[in-house]
Amino acid sequence: MTYDEPTLAQLTADAEVIIGRYPVARSALLPMLHLVQSVDGFVSPDGIAFCAERLDLTAAEVSAVATFYTQYKRRPNGEYQVGVCTNTLCAIMGGDRIWDELSDHVGVGNGETTEDGSITLERIECNAACDYAPVMMVNWEFFDNQTPESAKQVVDDLRAGKDVAPTRGPNKVCTFKHVERVLAGFEDGRADEDQGVGAPTLAGLEAAKAAGWNAEAKPAKTSKGAKA
Amino acid sequence: MTELAPVLSAIWDHEKSWSIDTYTKAGGYSALKKALKTPQTDLIQAVKDSGLRGRGGAGFPTGMKWGFLPPDDGKPRYLVVNADESEPGTCKDIPTMLSNPHALVEGAIITSFAIGCNHAFIYLRGEVVHVYRRLLQAVREAYDAGHLGTNIHGTGYNLELTVHAGAGAYICGEETALLDSLEGRRGQPRLKPPFPAVAGLYARPTVVNNVESIASVPAIVDKGVDWFTGMGTERSKGMGLFSLSGHVNKPGQYEAPLGITLRELLEYAGGVREGHQLKFWTPGGSSTPIFTEEHLDTPLDYESVGAAGSMLGTRALQIFDETTCVVRAVMRWTEFYKHESCGKCTPCREGTYWLAQILKRLEHGEGTMADIQQLLDTCDSILGRAFCALGDGATSSITSSVKLFREEYEAHVTQGACPFDHSASALFEFRDAHADDTEEVLA
């Protein structure tokens, strides 16, 4: 391992906290790989050696796990991971077009990083926000109802060093390393930050309120016609 | 008209709905106080009597799952909440945890108490960092309020709750793969039996339940079994989140009694987008056979959807209008299954690879009529032969779409191109270069 002393000390202390959350130490491996990415920006050989040593595993065992999951990167990742959903629903609602234009605009393809290290583009699978299609994720924050123009603007702003807020999430998109530290289970004090609830999230609730229904007080009725 | 039934979603529009203060003010954690004074067997019986069935897709009775645990032997047993929501089209657990994480936390505490568990886990997919922030905070708030930790509210009951972030793998939504992943391994499914109830996390008795199932428990305890069974149909009780997406005017989350129909839901959602008609839809995500307008009045409960040839799944209603190419849709889902196949079993690993190849050439107008039959034959070789449900799910959209839209597959072959203008399906304006190619081919 080539970590300098303060880095290794911090990693070791953090790893102890993570391991302490589980009855069996090996369960700490996934969060520890996130922790490694929060320091190195990818799952580095040093990080693999570190995890192996702390958990009494071989480097091969750690690598086998790291290579199974798409969030673990094998090459240094950009500061901002920009993912365009191209699974069926988003693709058809316009995700394919967003991907094409964004990829042309940024000049890199799937899994590639810009030369300045700012942006890594990725075609992502369904991110559970289909009611906000087409969806883009930047460092795993939601950018809902995107168009090619809005997506390019987000990336341009990020590259210009501006703060960019997601449509649902904290007040700004944090860096890849920052977010990876949160994913290792360390709170960053941004949980209360909010951009307001999106209309699709409230669609059913508002329709029920408009009709004056309160299922908590009185069970909601199913119409006769709808019964099998 | 079937009424909507916001229960989990009832406080989503409250100020700071995710905070313990808002949740408690709205009556939250009163179910926990009640549960802690109730014998454990009575709690399990109440959930059995409620008829609550797994909201993660399979629909297995939740109380029965709890009842499968062997008698307490004094050693650990676990609750693991499956928050790995990633079935294409499914988008209900993420808003639930973002806007109302305490319903899940309270449900996890009550469930743990009922099954005699002292360490519970929430396995959240890793690609939703703000949801993770909210869950971490909710758990911390619950500890501070004395709902978690040692000697909870003076009962002598102890519970730790750990929120764990995954790292991007759809297969970890399969319960045994999730357990392997939580143990720090590659997320590959385990051979069953033994089922998790007997040998789950760390080979100990384990209950694995979906977010929405667990989050529904406090309401059942608080408002009673009769209230819950007052909603839904004969064998599909209670309310559930129906997620409408795609070509509808107001996509979103519609919490309603099971048994509501798509026709009714579409009315609430303002209908299919202006000037267009429904072509096909999924009742429960991409792993469930597709439906058409013929199924608008099929009650969306486990039995009726099953009888109509599909599955209620996760109630992920993806709506596609007549501009949508079904071959393109199915191709993309199939590429997803290929990407997410864990590689453990041959039918799924090799089958999804070849299905994606064939669909790709069909969609691009390079396929043959024999390819359509080959798709069905390959599906036959996967269905029922794969190690877990992922392989079966991969075949659903293919076999159902060939059955319903065979002529559209054939048109791709005879025209040598996709007959659709993809820009017409998008929710914003653009000119499709592909459409120019198509015109040339057609001319």
**What DSSP state is assigned to residue B65?**
H
First CA to last CA distance, chain B: 49
- The distance of B230 to chain A (nearest Cα, Å) reads 6
pTM above 0.90, yes or no: yes
Report the percentage of chain B scoring pLDDT > 90: 96
Judge contact between B382 and B347, C-beta under 8 A: yes
Q: Clarify whether residues B83 and B158 are in a common domain.
A: yes
* Residue-level pLDDT, tens digit, chain A, 228 residues: 899 999 999 999 999 999 999 999 999 999 999 999 999 999 999 999 999 999 999 999 999 999 999 999 999 999 999 999 999 999 999 999 999 999 999 999 999 999 999 999 999 999 999 999 999 999 999 999 999 999 999 999 999 999 999 999 999 999 999 999 999 999 999 999 999 999 999 999 999 999 999 999 999 998 865 444
Residues 6+ apart with CB under 8 A from B97: B83, B104, B124, B131, B134, B135, B211
The 3-state secondary structure of B170-183 reads: HHHHCHHHHHHHHC
- Specify the pLDDT at position A223: 83
From the list A33, A69, A128, which residue is nearest B169 (CB)? Answer: A69
B350 in the same domain as B285: no
B155 CA to centre of own chain: 35
Q: Cα–Cα–Cα angle for B57, B58, B64, nearest 5°?
A: 125
**Closest in B12, B167, B255 to A33, CB measured:** B167
- Give B409 to chain A, closest Cα distance, Å: 17
The pLDDT score that the predictor gives to residue B431 is: 80
Which residues in chain B have Cβ-Cβ distances shorter than 8 Å to A126?
86-90, 336
% of chain B exceeding 70 in pLDDT: 98
Which residue in B has a C-alpha nearest to residue A176's C-alpha? B129
Longest dimension (CA), chain B: 80
Collapsing DSSP states into helix, strand and coil, what is residue B159?
A: strand
- Decide if B419 is inside a domain: yes
**Could you tell me the CATH number of the domain that includes residue B273?**
3.10.20.600
**Relative orientation angle of helices B346-363 and B369-382, to the nearest 10 degrees:** 160
CB contact under 8 A, A30 and B181: yes
Q: Which of A182, A200, A202 sits opposite B133 (nearest CB)?
A: A182
Average pLDDT over residues B281-306: 97
For the CA atoms of B105, B107, B110, B115, the dihedral, rounded to the nearest 10 degrees, stands at -110
B386 falls within a domain? yes
Partner residue opposite A200 with nearest CB, options B253, B328, B425: B253
Beta-bridge partners for B254 = B242
Q: Please report, for the domain that includes residue B165, its CATH number.
A: 3.40.50.11540
Q: What's the structural domain count of chain B? A: 3
Query: Which of B26, B299, B49 is closest to A225 using CA atoms?
Result: B299
What pLDDT sits at residue A1?
Answer: 86
CA distance linking residue A63 with residue A43, whole number of Å: 9
In the block, residue with structure tokens 């909870």: B152
Q: ipTM for the complex?
A: 0.97
Same-domain pairing of B28 and B68:
yes
The tens digit of pLDDT for each residue in A82-97 reads: 999 999 999 999 999 9
What is the C-alpha to C-alpha distance for residues B87 and B108, in angstroms, rounded to an integer? 22
Q: Nearest CA of chain A to the CA of B245: how many Å?
A: 5
What token pair was written down for A103? 């990829």
Give a yes or no: residue B218 inside a domain.
Answer: yes
Asked whether residue B436 carries a pLDDT value surpassing 60, the answer given is no
Query: Does the distance separating the beta carbons of A97 and B128 come in below 8 Å?
Result: no
Can you give the residue range of the structural domain that contains B290?
239-321
The pLDDT, as a whole number, for residue B441 is 47
Q: Residues B346-377: pLDDT tens digits?
A: 999 999 999 999 999 999 999 999 999 999 99
Coil/strand/helix, residue A223: coil
For residue B380, the domain's CATH number is: 1.20.1440.230
Give the pLDDT confidence score for residue B315 in this predicted structure: 98
Distance from CA of B254 to the nearest CA of A (A): 4
Whole-number Å distance between alpha carbons of B108 and B121: 9
By C-alpha distance, which of A91, A162, A165, A158 is closest to A126?
A91
Query: Chain A residues with CB inside 8 Å of B169's CB?
Result: 68-70
Is there a single domain that holds both residue B380 and residue B270? no
Is residue B1 situated within a structural domain? Answer: no
pLDDT exceeds 90 at position B320: yes
Nearest by CB to residue B318, choosing from A130, A132, A142, is A130
Q: Give per-residue pLDDT as tens, A162-206.
A: 999 999 999 999 999 999 999 999 999 999 999 999 999 999 999
Which one, of B364, B359, B349, B433, lies nearest residue B401 by Cα? B359
B51 neighbourhood in chain A, CB within 8 Å: none
Pairing of strands B316-321, B278-282: antiparallel
